[in-house]
Amino acid sequence: MKIIRAKNYDHMSRQAANIISAQVILKPDCVLGLATGSSPIGTYEQLIKWYEKGDLDFSQVRTVNLDEYVGLDREHEQSYAWFMRSHFFDHINIDPSNTNIPCGTALDGNAECKRYDDTLRSLGEIDLQLLGIGPNGHIGFNEPDSCFTKGTHKVALTETTIRANRRFFQREEDVPRFAYTMGVCDIMNASRVVLVASGADKADAVKAAFFGPITPLVSASILQLHPNFTLVADEAALSKV
Ligand code: F6R
């Protein structure tokens, strides 16, 4: 595990964007695993700036997102499909047909998980997986559990996650209770994993995940075993280690 200590959110975002940028330059048709949420927004903003300067070309890049809320249509403003378009895809020259996100409105949940697993397999190895971390140590929506889940699955969101994501919705009852998420093994199969963490409210999760025992109760902790894992965290997120 490599730790890059950043001064603050902006610095963390630039450091993570530098790693992703190098990946895209070295392998223009790479597969990027992408995350949503507040943590990676600055990283996407930086990548967009470099794209606008002509330094990055996403025309051959393929992407696969970690997760999507069950029940939200891709046009819903809180869906992760919408998030990715508004924060990243609409601002770069990526081919929309090269982007993949679970379908929140699929009628058959099991079939949707299988479809997404097939998509992951057809893309081959993820060259770089970008992650955030939940306050309970989740990656993707792999919530605290008794075992590490392998592939894409439907998950009931915990109260902690519902409360953390409440800020994006008008009312707490609007926060979806279920999501589709890539499994921990899918994430571990990526060649390189980069996790961004910022702010004091992530300090406990960072400590438990990367300086505590490896346990499915803190799904990010398994990244301690990944051969090419980089934690890019700011001083506040690292304040308890
Ligand atoms: C989002 C995802 C989640 C978030 C995590 C942190 O695609 O997979 O694991 O990364 O919940 O969210 P923020 O960054 O909003 O604190």
> Is residue 179 lining ligand 1, measured as CB closer than 6 Å?
no
- State the distance from the centre of ligand 1 to the C-alpha of 40, rounded, in angstroms: 8
50 has pLDDT over 90: yes
- pTM of the predicted model, to two decimals? 0.97
Residue nearest to atom 10 of ligand 1 (CA): 132
45 has pLDDT over 90: yes
Q: What is the mean pLDDT of residues 82-105?
A: 98
pLDDT at 150: 86
The C-alpha angle 190, 192, 197, rounded to 5 degrees, equals 105
- State the distance from the centre of ligand 1 to the C-alpha of 109, rounded, in angstroms: 22
> Is residue 138 lining ligand 1, measured as CB closer than 6 Å?
yes
> Is residue 42 lining ligand 1, measured as CB closer than 6 Å?
no
> Is residue 81 lining ligand 1, measured as CB closer than 6 Å?
no
pLDDT at 231: 98
Nearest to 190 by CA among 218, 223, 221: 223
Note the pLDDT tens digit of each residue in 167-223.
899 998 999 999 999 999 999 999 999 999 999 999 999 999 999 999 999 999 999
pLDDT at 185: 94
pLDDT at 211: 97
The region that residue 202 occupies, defined by phi over 0 for left and psi between -120 and 50 for alpha, beta otherwise, is alpha
Mutate to test the pocket of ligand 1, among 78, 83, 141 (most ligand atoms within 8 A of CB): 141
Cβ atoms within 10 Å, residue 45: 16
pLDDT at 108: 96
Q: Both tokens of residue 191?
A: 């060649």
Note the pLDDT tens digit of each residue in 55-80.
999 999 999 999 999 999 999 999 99
Nearest to 63 by CA among 22, 26, 20, 104: 20
Ligand 1 atom having least distance to the Cα of 36: 7
Catalytic residue positions, numbered: 67, 136, 138, 143
Q: Both tokens of residue 232?
A: 């890019």
Residue nearest to atom 9 of ligand 1 (CA): 140
User: Taking the CA of residue 172 as centre, how many other CA atoms within 13 Å lie in the half-sphere pointing to its CB?
Assistant: 8
- State the distance from the centre of ligand 1 to the C-alpha of 132, rounded, in angstroms: 5
- State the distance from the centre of ligand 1 to the C-alpha of 39, rounded, in angstroms: 7
Q: How sure is the predictor about 241, in pLDDT bands with cuts at 50, 70 and 90?
A: very high
> Is residue 191 lining ligand 1, measured as CB closer than 6 Å?
no
Amino acid at 75: E
Nearest to 129 by CA among 174, 62, 179, 175: 62
- State the distance from the centre of ligand 1 to the C-alpha of 38, rounded, in angstroms: 7
Q: What is the DSSP string of 176-217?
A: -SEEEE--HHHHHTSSEEEEEE-SGGGHHHHHHHHSS--BTT
The region that residue 94 occupies, defined by phi over 0 for left and psi between -120 and 50 for alpha, beta otherwise, is beta
Helix axes 9-26, 41-52, angle to 10 degrees: 50
